[in-house]
Homo-oligomer: A and B are copies of this chain.
Amino acid sequence: MNADRRVPNYQRIADALMARIDSGEFPSGSRLPTEPQLKAEYDVSSTTVRNAVKALAAAGIVETRHGAGTFVIERKLLTINATTTEDLDRRRGIVAQDSWSTDVKEAGREPDQRFECLNVAASDEQAKLLGVEPGAWLVMRRCWRTVDGIPASIEASVFPRWLVDALPELGSPHDIAQGTTSFVAERGYPMEVHLDYVSGRPFTREEESFFRAPAGVQALIRGRVSYDKPDGRVLRIMETVYRNDMHKILYVVAGRGNATSR
């Protein structure tokens, strides 16, 4: 027994429960004892039991469901391929579908998305990238995506004014089934290079209301700025917000590791 007084009681109970989960006593998806039961079992107050369960929830080990109980979580990661593009899909015979749907279906899961097109004011960052004034009107195309019925990601793209003028379909309130990347490319504006950044943060209140994810789940963010050529014109600014417990993002990186071979 660890009688280290520096470790709070609720943390010791959390550790004990975690050990019981690891031992197989509570397999993935199973229900933990109720809080009153744990309270009696460990002879502590309700506060302490709740803190213990909250610690496990924050660590992504369990999920509490109001009125139902506390359940052990199992993570199923979906791989999002950030390197392949639609031309690769075509070689595999996939034509009229965006690359996200392809990824999800190939994982044997069911994709669904709700689409919307809206006019937005350019943020400072967007304005700088596009060379317009902050607050300028931009067209945003946004997808709210679910996997097996679970809210999984939100993808938002904004396009420069001149591109929307050239390709009015970008302003239409209808989804472009083949994906905007290949649509824009086919019309004469191929994206030759993308700058991606990946980070993570807690959900905003707004995102929370869409995802309704358990505690311990945060956002995995992928930003992508697409250019017609290196240091060229920006064709699209995209940001995707993923549930971080459902996704991993894959990149194939060309190594140039042999410094002496240049």
Is A104's beta carbon under 8 Å from chain B? no
Task: Give A224-262 interface residues, CB cut-off 8 Å to B.
Answer: 224, 226-227, 244-245, 247-262
Most chain B CB neighbours (cut-off 10 Å) among A91, A227, A258: A258
Could you tell me the dominant secondary structure of chain A's interface residues?
mixed
**Least Cβ distance of A151 to chain B in Å?**
11
Asked if residues B244 and A209 are in contact (CB atoms below 8 Å), the reply is: no
Is A30's beta carbon under 8 Å from chain B? no
Asked if residues B257 and A59 are in contact (CB atoms below 8 Å), the reply is: no
Pick from A32-40, A78-86, A121-129, A158-166 the stretch touching chain B. A78-86
Also in contact, A255 and B220, with CB within 8 A (given A60-B201, A197-B249, A248-B198): no
Task: Return chain B residues, CB-CB under 8 Å to A77.
Answer: 199
A254 to B224, alpha carbons, bound, how many Å? 12
Contact of A244 among B181, B184, B200, B253 (CB under 8 A): B200
Oligomeric state, in copies: 2
Also in contact, A251 and B253, with CB within 8 A (given A185-B260, A199-B220): yes
Contact of A257 among B4, B182, B204, B254 (CB under 8 A): B182
Query: What is the interface residue range for chain A against chain B?
Result: 35 or more
Also in contact, A257 and B199, with CB within 8 A (given A1-B210, A209-B2): no
Asked if residues B186 and A202 are in contact (CB atoms below 8 Å), the reply is: no
Asked if residues B87 and A184 are in contact (CB atoms below 8 Å), the reply is: no
Q: Which residues in A have some Cβ–Cβ distance to B below 8 Å?
A: 1-2, 4, 15, 58-60, 75, 77, 79, 82-83, 85-88, 90-91, 181-182, 184-186, 190-205, 209-210, 215-216, 218, 220, 224, 226-227, 244-245, 247-262
List 4 tightest A-B contacts by C-beta distance, closest first: A190-B258, A200-B244, A199-B248, A185-B257
Q: List 5 A-B contacts (CB under 8 A).
A: A15-B205, A82-B253, A87-B256, A87-B257, A218-B218
